[in-house]
Structure formats: structure tokens, C-alpha cells
Amino acid sequence: MPVAVIVLGLLSAVSWGLADFGGGFASRRAPVAGVLLSTQLIGAVMSTGIAIALGEALPSTSDVGWALASSAFGGVGLACLYIGLARGRMGVVAPVTGVLVAAIPAVAGILLEGTLPTPVLIGIALAISSVLVVSRVGGGDDGRPSGLPWGIAAGFTLGVVTLTLSRMTPGLVYGPLTIMRIGEAVLVGAFIAVRRPPWRLSGRLWPALLGIGAFDMLGTGFYIAATQSGPLAIAGVLSALYPVTTVVLAVLILRERLARWHVLGIGIAIVAIVLITTGSMG
């Protein structure tokens, strides 16, 4: 089994984790709608430049269709996630979303592409468990609803995105990604036009927004490349380890307390990576 799928899957997890950390940090200081719109547009511009530099062929009609489907499910998924986190309990919404995003491509990959070596299957199960554990957020009885329906909706739609992205023609990564980012920007722009939420951003945030847009774009690009390099189950579950990156960054940069759940989740993730790597090479 190619080592590339493991490396690219982990690079995707690191990049998405960096983007989520930056996006959450920026959203404390700026309207979420503005952050989403700007980062999607930045990603579209960057992915266009990379596609041209790499000399990628133009996406086929099928690729365009999968990219647009990815943008639709991705836009809805992000909306459900943010609504759930705002209205419900993070301790319910975040883990449910994360586990579904990890589990959907893992199950689909095994069903569509066949079973994998036993150590790899154990590693996949542990990786999904680590996402649940590391995403655990304390939440007391504060009168908020659980937010479970939003978490399920976000996890399902974002999980579907991992499947639609895997259908791109081998060798095509950044062209379809450009279409996806433009589609998501159009959806966010339409939401702003209809609902008119705050969205204007301060100029001092643009350096951070450039980084967020770049890492989000790279994470998705690495994921698409991972699905073209090896089993979907491995690409999907390794890329879904992004909450581990976010937690580590929160501890190192924001000096947030490293709870026992975080330590346990990170430890499980490391064991999962070792099992998936060694089992794939056996």
C-alpha cells in the first residue's frame, strides 16, 4: 500500500487543524460570515494559481459536478456546524460532527474497496475514537439544548463532502478545488445578501485570513490527493484527525489547559497512526 496516502492524509489533518484554529481565533474578533467569505475567496485564488503552475488539465463535466456537489454539502455542513455550536452544547455538537466526518469515509471505503489488514482496521477504529475523545468539551447544565440534530446534520453533510471529493479524476486536485471554493463563496455571499448579517472585516485581520484560507485550501488539496493515492478509508480517517491539531495549537499558543481527555485522545491518535502505518506496510 502506498505510503503517500498516509503522509497526505496526515498533512491534510495538520492543515485543516491549523485552518480551524485560525478560523476560530479570527471569529472571536470578526463576524463569522465575513471570515468564511474571505477565506473561501482566498482559497479559490490560491488554488487557481497552483492549478495553472502545475499545468493541470481542465476539469471534466463530471469533475465540475462533483466539485459543485462538494461546495453545496460543504456550505450546508459549515452552516449547521456553526449554528449547532452557537445554539447548542459544544460538548455534544463537536464530537458528533467529528466522529461522523471520520466514520463516513472509513465505512464507505471498506464497503466500496474491500476490507483492509486487521491492524489497519483496528487503527481506523482507534482513530475515530480519538476524534470523539479529543473533541470532548466540558459543558455543564447551562439550560442550552444539546444541539444533537445540528451535530448530526453537520457531520453527515461534511462526511458526504469527503466522499464527493474522492470522486475527482486522478491527477486533478486544484482545478476542482477552485470550483468548490467559488461555489462555497457564492453560497456564503447569497446568505449575506438575504439575511444581512454583519460581515465587514478590519484590514488588520487580512494577514491571518490569508493564512486561514491557504491552510484550508491545502488541507482539502492534500485530502483529494490522498484519496487518489490509496484506500479511501485510510485517507478519510487520517485527515479527520484535524481536531488533534487544533487542540495542540490551543494548548501551545492560547495556553489552554490540557485536560485528561485531550491527553488520552492524542495518545489514542498516535497509537492509531502507528497501527495504520505499520499495518499498511505489512
Each residue of 163-215: pLDDT tens digit? 999 999 999 999 999 999 999 999 999 989 998 988 888 888 899 999 999 99
- What is the distance between the alpha carbons of residues 157 and 50, in angstroms, rounded to a whole number? 27
pLDDT score, position 26: 81
User: Residue 268: which domain range?
Assistant: 4-281
pLDDT score, position 144: 65
Q: How far is CA 198 from CA 1, 157, 271, in A?
A: 48, 25, 43
CB-CB contact of 56 with 173 (8 Å): yes
With H, G, I as helix, E, B as strand and everything else as coil, classify residue 62.
helix
The single residue listed with the C-alpha cell 496526515 is: 10
Q: Is the pTM of this model over 0.85?
A: yes
Percent with pLDDT over 70 in the chain? 93
pLDDT score, position 32: 82
Nearest to 22 by CA among 7, 265, 14, 133: 14
The identity of residue 112, as a single letter, is L
Mean pLDDT of 20-38: 82
Q: Which of 131-140, 149-158, 249-258, 260-269 has the lowest mean pLDDT?
A: 131-140
The DSSP H or E segment spanning 128 is helix 118-134
DSSP state of 1: -
Asked whether the CA dihedral 146, 93, 154, 103 is positive or negative, the reply is: negative
Each residue of 213-242: pLDDT tens digit? 999 999 999 999 999 999 999 999 999 888
Each residue of 147-168: pLDDT tens digit? 788 888 988 999 999 999 999 9
Number of domain units in the chain: 1
pLDDT surpasses 60 at 262: yes
pLDDT score, position 1: 60
pLDDT score, position 91: 61
One-character DSSP codes across 206-251 = HHHHHHHHHHHHHHHHHHHHHHTTS-HHHHHHHHTTHHHHHHHHHH
